[in-house]
Amino acid sequence: MKFLSIALALSLVVADEELEKRHAILSFFPARGPQTPQDVGCAQDLSRSYFDEYNQSSLDACKTFCIYNVNCTGIEYAVPSVAEVGGRCRVWKKPQGLEVTVDLIGFSCWKYNHTISAGHYCSRWVRVGTCQRLHGDCYKCLQESPLN
């Protein structure tokens, strides 16, 4: 029985590694590096062509908007007590990415990275936990769909 459970555990590890090879990884990590992203805003050129803005009550909802936007390079989220209505989400799409941050109470600034194939977007994903080397949130893309 002991050998059976060891074999099962090893097969699950191998299966998980194979799954990783077949799926793109999506990651959000603090714009300033490994320290927490709390009270840090994204101080960019505020040209409206560089971001889309949404009223959202959660950081997770803001990340969802980013994942669905193929041009997303990062997000800035303001908690409901700071934003005018609910929470505020800015999905940054500046080609150079997020370059500058500023201390700003109630805000968080996250860079976004992915390994999705060119000409595709992730239409279905699952959170897999913390990205150890990036100190951020990792998601596994379960289904890539072609851009129309």
Q: Could you give the residue ranges of the DSSP H alpha helices within the chain?
A: 2-22, 59-68
- What integer pLDDT is reported at residue 15 of this predicted model? 40
**CA 23 to chain CA mean position, Å:** 15
60-85 tens-digit pLDDT? 999 999 999 999 999 999 888 765 66
Return the closest-CA partner of residue 23 out of 127, 93, 111, 148: 127
- What residue segments make up the domains of the chain, in order of their start? 23-146
6 pLDDT tier (thresholds 50, 70, 90):
very low
pLDDT the model gives residue 20: 52
- pTM listed for this prediction: 0.77
Mean pLDDT of 121-141: 84
- Rg, Å, the chain Cα set: 18
